[in-house]
Amino acid sequence: MKLAWPREFPGVHHYGIEEEKAVLEVVRNRAPFRYYGLKRPKFVAALERQAREFYGARYALAVNSGTGALMTAMTALGIGPWDEVIVPAFMWVSTVGSVVSANAIPVLCEVDESFTMNCADLEKKITPRTKLIVPVHMAGAPCDMKSVMAIARRRNIAVLEDCAQCNGGSFAGQKVGTFGDVGMFSLQINKNCTSGEGGLLVSNNQQLYLQLNAAHDIGVPWIDDLPNTIAVQAGWGAGRRMSDLSGALAWEQLKKLPLIVRRMRVSKRRIKAMLATTSGLAFRQIHDRAGDTGCFLIMLLRDEQCARAASSRMSQAGLPNSRLAEYGMHIYYNILQLVKKAPLSLAGNPWNLRANARSIYSYAKGACPRSDELFARAILVPVPSVLTAQQEKAAAKIIREAVG
């Protein structure tokens, strides 16, 4: 019999009466805009307060998506033509896309066996033009933020943490997102908690927060009731405010995030324990197991052929999985617009801006050979937040048989 595996969307499984009530309140108050309505809106502001407390950051800003959060951060951090931004080979198209949208050049960095930024390669990729490092806490687990921050601080380079896939995760007891200059989260439906669409930015730097606020909205910070034109030099905003409807959902979901993460972590730990003695099977290394949110299991097989065979057997038995090499726009060489250096507009930027014309940048398969080798023999299995003990056992059995 085929396995019945719940869809991977961790947050929506936990939608309940709380989310319903909050959304209804917005509708009844005729107050879907975050700053004013027929009655006073409250949810986005409450979400930002809650986020400050939850992540342990001095400032939090809600935006309309994770991609919007990344682009807002690029503007606030002053990334532009001439700049190189280092991103890992395993990320999401928006991570590199936000660099390109700032007319800057993405520079790829290898991943290590944790499938996050390889710090030895990071050092090698830094040049006098490196303006920003973007560690991505991929597939639920944290990067080695101690090493990333040590390198960045020594070289005086800013850090933007992409925590879209690791909401609620931590490294050495500190929440991801709070190590770098700015941290961003996504609240899209696949993420650990969700309002369907939405994003969060956190920072401990007041000036940066004001710049984020200005960049996400109207070019000057808008805090409480009135735009404040004094605190930062006026620029151009991008209309990325969060609506109070999304705020209502996100506020309730953030309260549930610890529970959701706990469920995924426990299920993942149990499945791994059942597979501990399976020969020919290894797991990705995790820099801090206590900080892993558990939403994905990444397995490493002996070689590409074994991975292909095992992946197809798992699919036949009903266990959703992806070979990392084929995991869509998460892998640099599958991002066609990157490989082809597609222009941002008909003006043809950023790679052929005169400043960037040295054609040393390559994004085709082979640009990160160490990562390519890992992707080829890695399989990713989503770990839903509502697994029963029976489903966990069935999954372990399918994986064992598929590998064997």
In the complex, least distance from residue 83 CB atom to ligand PLP, rounded to whole angstroms: 19
Which 54-73 residues touch ligand PLP, going by CB under 6 A? 65-67
If one asks whether residue 91 binds ligand PLP (CB under 6 A), the answer comes out as yes
Least Cα distance to 164 among 308, 354, 330, 397 occurs for: 330
Among 130, 188, 194, 293, the residue binding ligand PLP under the rule CB under 6 A is 188
Count, residues near ligand PLP per rule CB under 6 A? 14
Residue closer to ligand PLP (CB basis): 143 or 403: 143
In the complex, least distance from residue 241 CB atom to ligand PLP, rounded to whole angstroms: 15
Residue type, 101: S
Q: Is residue 330 within 8 Å of residue 338, measured between CB atoms?
A: no
Which long-range contacts (C-beta less than 8 Å, at least 24 apart) are formed by 91-94?
Answer: 91/134, 91/136, 91/138, 91/162, 91/330, 91/332, 92/136, 92/162, 92/164, 92/165, 92/329, 92/330, 93/329, 93/330, 93/335, 93/337, 93/338, 94/66, 94/67, 94/70, 94/164
Residue closer to ligand PLP (CB basis): 136 or 210: 136
First-residue to last-residue Cα distance in the chain: 19
If one asks whether residue 101 binds ligand PLP (CB under 6 A), the answer comes out as no
* 117 three-state secondary structure: strand
In the complex, least distance from residue 353 CB atom to ligand PLP, rounded to whole angstroms: 25
DSSP for 13-57, please give it.
Answer: GG--HHHHHHHHHHHHTT--SSS--SS---HHHHHHHHHHHHHT-
Least Cα distance to 341 among 321, 323, 364, 320 occurs for: 364
In the complex, least distance from residue 228 CB atom to ligand PLP, rounded to whole angstroms: 27
Sole window of 119-127, 162-170, 278-286, 335-343 interacting with ligand PLP (rule: CB under 6 A)? 162-170
Backbone angles phi, psi at 240, to 5 degrees: -115, 35
Catalytic residue, from 131, 175, 191, 256: name it.
Answer: 191
- The conformation of residue 286, written as its DSSP 8-state character, comes to -
In the complex, least distance from residue 129 CB atom to ligand PLP, rounded to whole angstroms: 23
Q: Is residue 14 within 8 Å of residue 402, measured between CB atoms?
A: no
Query: What residue ranges in 229-294 does DSSP mark as E strands?
Result: 282-283
Burial of 174 (0-12, 13-18, 19+ CB in 10 A): middle
- The conformation of residue 90, written as its DSSP 8-state character, comes to B
- The conformation of residue 296, written as its DSSP 8-state character, comes to E
If one asks whether residue 92 binds ligand PLP (CB under 6 A), the answer comes out as yes
If one asks whether residue 136 binds ligand PLP (CB under 6 A), the answer comes out as yes
If one asks whether residue 253 binds ligand PLP (CB under 6 A), the answer comes out as no
Residue closer to ligand PLP (CB basis): 196 or 227: 196
Residue closer to ligand PLP (CB basis): 66 or 106: 66
Among 165, 178, 246, 356, the residue binding ligand PLP under the rule CB under 6 A is 165
Residue closer to ligand PLP (CB basis): 183 or 402: 183
Q: Are strands 222-223 and 199-203 parallel, antiparallel or unpaired?
A: unpaired
If one asks whether residue 199 binds ligand PLP (CB under 6 A), the answer comes out as yes
In the complex, least distance from residue 72 CB atom to ligand PLP, rounded to whole angstroms: 11
If one asks whether residue 132 binds ligand PLP (CB under 6 A), the answer comes out as no
- Could you give the C-alpha distances from 148 to 94, 133, 153, 161, 230, in angstroms and in order? 21, 8, 9, 10, 34
191 is catalytic: yes
Residue closer to ligand PLP (CB basis): 199 or 237: 199
Residue closer to ligand PLP (CB basis): 138 or 149: 138
In the complex, least distance from residue 360 CB atom to ligand PLP, rounded to whole angstroms: 26
Among 72, 94, 130, 195, the residue binding ligand PLP under the rule CB under 6 A is 94
Residue closer to ligand PLP (CB basis): 106 or 356: 106
Token pair listed for 293: 């949110």
In the complex, least distance from residue 184 CB atom to ligand PLP, rounded to whole angstroms: 7
If one asks whether residue 164 binds ligand PLP (CB under 6 A), the answer comes out as yes
Q: How many CB atoms lie within 10 A of CB 184?
A: 31
* Residue nearest ligand PLP (C-beta atom): 66
The residues annotated as belonging to the active site are 191
Residues contributing to the site for ligand PLP (CB under 6 A): 65-67, 91-92, 94-95, 136, 162, 164-165, 186, 188, 199
